[in-house]
Copies of this chain bind each other. A is one copy, B any other.
Amino acid sequence: MAADELSTVDALAQLSFLVHNTLERRAAEQELSMIQTRLLGVLRDREPTMNELAALLELDKSSITGLVDRAQRRGLVERHPSPTDRRAVLVRLTATGRELVTVAAARFAGDVTALLAGLSATDRAALTRVLSRVLVSHAAEQGIDLFPTA
């Protein structure tokens, strides 16, 4: 029992690092660090202020200044004045930035799909079901509903 439990923990940990390294590698192909990739990732469906970006990425606002500086210097994002608050700055993905993160994300998704390619349909379904259960109950413990009905 204890041995079984340990090996589940171990398998999950190993697979997590494998998946993480896979993304890191695909991001590096686009000369993106993990944090730059996360920056572009959150900008795919948002146009946040520097402050909101700090909250989304869980970094200090002074760190966001440098992060956005470097991405902007590469032409991946743009700063725009907020129309409603003259103190605030809105950050937006450029076409180049969107292209880079889209390519990295697609290749990463392909890698994970390939990783699961050897599984039978039954095993894959079982994996999805169990992982979803873990994620939903973890989210619930954090007070988050992953599938809001409203």
Residues of A within 8 A of B (CB): 4-9, 11-20, 23, 108-109, 112-113, 115-116, 118-119, 123-128, 130-135, 137-138
B112 contacts A134, C-beta separation under 8 Å: no
Using CB atoms, name the residue of chain B closest to A109.
B9
Q: How many copies does the complex hold?
A: 2
Q: Which of B115, B119, B135 contacts A15 (CB 8 A)?
A: B135
* Contact residue among B4, B20, B109 (Cβ-Cβ distance under 8 Å from A124): B4
- Which secondary structure characterizes the binding site on chain A? helix
Name the residue on B nearest A105 (C-beta): B13
What is the CB-to-nearest-CB distance from A121 to chain B, in angstroms, rounded to a whole number?
9
Closest chain B residue to A15, Cβ basis: B131
